[in-house]
Structure 1
Amino acid sequence: MQLDLNLLTALDALLEEGSVTDAAARLHVSAPAMSRTLGRIRRATGDQILVRTGRTMTPTPHALALRATVHELVQQAQAVLSPHTQIELAALERTFILRWHDALAAAVGPALLHSLRAEAPGVRVRFLAEASTDTHDPRRGDTDLEAGSGEPSSPEIRHEIAGHDRLVLALRPAHPLCHGPLTIEDYAAADHITVSRRGRLRDPVDDALEARDLSRRVVAAAPTIATALQFVRRQDLVVAVPQLVSRPLLDDLGLCVRPLPLTMPAIPIHLAWHQRYDNDPAHAWLRGLARTALSQACESTGDPARDPADAATDEATDEATDEAAGGLIAE
C-alpha cells in the first residue's frame, strides 16, 4: 500500500492543534480539505485519531501514543529537505510575535529591537502583553518567543533560563527608611504594598519574615509594578520589586532603591518557545539575540544605591526557583 507522506504533516498539525479548523489554518488549506485529509488518515491508520467531545476534538489513545513519533518524523523530514542553516539576514522579512512580561519588555525590549534592526532591517516585532488568563496555550502558534518568570509545564515547550533578577526595596526619597541603617525590624514595621494581578495581600516576603518570627502590615495590593510604584511615589509605603524589570520605572520616577534586609531567592527569567521552531534558522537567530539582551541586562544590574552604613544589612541573594520567589508578579 502506497502512503502519501504529506499525511504525516497533516497528522502532526491535527494532533498539536486538536482542531480541524486550526490545523487547516496552520497549513494554509481550507477546513473542508483538512477534514478530507483527516478521513484519509483515519483510513490509513484504522483509528479515529480525533473524536468529538462536545464542542472540542479529543485525540484517541492511539493518537496520543503516535504524537511524539509523528512530530519527530516531521522534524526530520524538514531537516532533510531544508539542510541549509544559513539565512540572509539583510534580506530577511518576517514578523516575530513576542509575548513578554510587560515590565521585562520595557526593560530589555529596546536593546533587543536595536539588535534585530541592526542585523535584519526587514524584521518587525510585535510585543504582546502576557495572557490575561491562565489558559493561554503557546501551541496555538500565536507566539514565537515568550519571556517571563514562569516555567512552562507543557513538554512541547522548550525553555531555558536566560538570567536572574532579584527583589529590591523601592520607596520615595522622603520616606524615613530611604537613608541610614535599615534593619529587618524597621522593614517589617513599615506599611507595605504588594504586586498581585489577583489582588493578593500576601507573597513570599511574608514567608521569609515569618521564618524570622516577624510579620508586616500590607495595606494594599496593586495589579502591576507600575501601579504599585505610583502608590509608593506619593505615600510612605514600601514595595519589593524585581530590580531589572523595574529599573526603567524606578529611574523615571526618581524613587529610592535599597537592598532588602532579608534573603530572598533570585528570580529566574525563562525564554520559552514551541518545539516546532527548534530547526528554524531565523527563530534560532531571534533566540540568540534575545538570550544575549537578557543576559547582558542581568549582568549590568549592580547593587542598588545605598548608604555605606547599609553594607552590614545587605545579605546575599540565593538562586532558587520561581515558585519560591513568587515570580515577577505574584498571582
Structure 2
Amino acid sequence: MDLKSLDRRFKLRVDEGDLENFIEPLLTSIQDEAPGVRLAITSWGDSQFEELISGHVDLGIMRLNDTPGNIRSKLVGHMEACIVLGEAHPLFHQDKASLQELLDHKVVKPHWRHNRKSSFSRTEHKLRQQGYNLQPALETDSLMATMQAVKQGMALVTSRSIGDLFLKIMCPQGAITKVKILPVPQEVIELDENKGRLPIHILWHERFNNDLAHRWLREQIIHFMRESPWMHPPI
C-alpha cells in the first residue's frame, strides 16, 4: 500500500481523556507518511456500537469489557485514574483523601462511556452497595466547563492524562500551584478489579479487519497510545 497516495477520510469516536494519549504523534505521522489522510474526530454519543455497526464510524476507543460479535476489539492497555483538586477545594492541602472525604464536597466527572458490564460499572455498583452516594454535581464533556468547576472548588475524577493536562494549563512553569493531583482513594482501589486503572480498548467493525489502510491507522493509534506516559500496556 502506497501511503503517500492514500486519499481517505476516517471517522473516529474518542473521548477527550483517551485522545490526549495519541493525537499529537498521530497527526505528525499522518503529515509525514500519509498526507492525504483526513480525520473526523468527535466524542462518543449515546449510540455507541450502532455507529460502528452501520459503518458511520471507522474506529472507536472506549473503556469496556465485551462487544457485539461483529465488533472487533483490542485491549490497548490500562490508564491510571486520578483526582484533580483546585486551590479552592477544602482538601487541597492534603496529599490523599478518602472516598467519603471527596464525596462530602462537590465532584465533577467527564461522561465516561462504558456499558453496564464494564469493570467501571461493577466498581460503581459495589461502592453503592456499601452506601456511598456517587452522584456528581456536574457531568460534562467540556474541558472549559470542567476547568471552571475545578477553579470553583469541585474535585475532578478523571484519567491521569487529563490530570496532567490540567497541571500544564493551570500551572504554567514558574507559576504558583493552583491545582494538584491526588491518587484514587484506597477504598476504590481495593474494590476495583483493575486497581484503579481504566481498561482502554480500540474498536472496529469486522468489515474493516483486512482493510490495509484501516489496519495501518489502528496500528498507529495502538502504538502511540502504548508509548504514552499514561498508558500501562497489557501484560
> Which TM-score tier does this pair reach, normalised by the shorter chain?
0.7 to 0.9
- Provide the rounded CA distance (Å) in 2 between the counterparts of 1:222 and 1:246: 16
- Provide the rounded CA distance (Å) in 2 between the counterparts of 1:172 and 1:284: 41
User: What is the match of residue 277 of structure 1?
Assistant: 208
Residue 252 of structure 1 pairs with residue 169 of structure 2: yes
User: 5 Å matches for 1:92-131?
Assistant: 92-131=6-45
Aligned-residue sequence identity (percent) comes to 23
- Provide the rounded CA distance (Å) in 1 between the counterparts of 2:9 and 2:134: 47
Cα separation, partners in 2 of 1:205 and 1:91, compared to 1, 3 Å: same
Q: Deviations over 1:209-228 (max 9, x none)?
A: 875xx746856132336233
More helix by share: 1
TM-score after normalising by structure 2: 0.74
User: What is the match of residue 193 of structure 1?
Assistant: 107
Greater Rg over alpha carbons, structure: 1
Shift of 1:93: 1.8
Assess if the C-alpha contact under 8 Å between 2:83 and 2:182 holds in 1: yes
Q: Which runs of 5+ in 2 are unaligned?
A: 113-120, 172-178
User: What is the match of residue 158 of structure 1?
Assistant: 72
Q: Deviations over 1:242-271 (max 9, x none)?
A: 212453244323421111231143211110
Assess if the C-alpha contact under 8 Å between 1:105 and 1:127 holds in 2: no
SS at match of 2:137: strand
Q: Which runs of 5+ in 1 are unaligned?
A: 1-86, 303-318, 320-331
* Alignment coverage as a number of residue pairs: 209
Shift of 1:103: 3.4
Which of 283, 288, 292 is residue 223 of structure 2 equivalent to?
A: 292
Which of 39, 50, 53 is residue 136 of structure 1 equivalent to?
A: 50
SS at match of 2:106: strand
SS at match of 2:45: coil
Assess if the C-alpha contact under 8 Å between 1:163 and 1:269 holds in 2: yes
Assess if the C-alpha contact under 8 Å between 2:21 and 2:230 holds in 1: no
- Provide the rounded CA distance (Å) in 2 between the counterparts of 1:170 and 1:282: 38
Which of 145, 163, 173 is residue 87 of structure 2 equivalent to?
A: 173
SS at match of 1:166: strand
User: What is the match of residue 61 of structure 2?
Assistant: 147
Q: Deviations over 1:296-327 (max 9, x none)?
A: 12xx139xxxxxxxxxxxxxxxx9xxxxxxxx
User: What is the match of residue 174 of structure 2?
Assistant: none
Assess if the C-alpha contact under 8 Å between 2:95 and 2:182 holds in 1: no
TM-score after normalising by structure 1: 0.54
Assess if the C-alpha contact under 8 Å between 2:97 and 2:182 holds in 1: no
Q: Deviations over 1:142-161 (max 9, x none)?
A: 21111121345211111001
- Provide the rounded CA distance (Å) in 2 between the counterparts of 1:253 and 1:179: 17
Q: Deviations over 1:32-61 (max 9, x none)?
A: xxxxxxxxxxxxxxxxxxxxxxxxxxxxxx
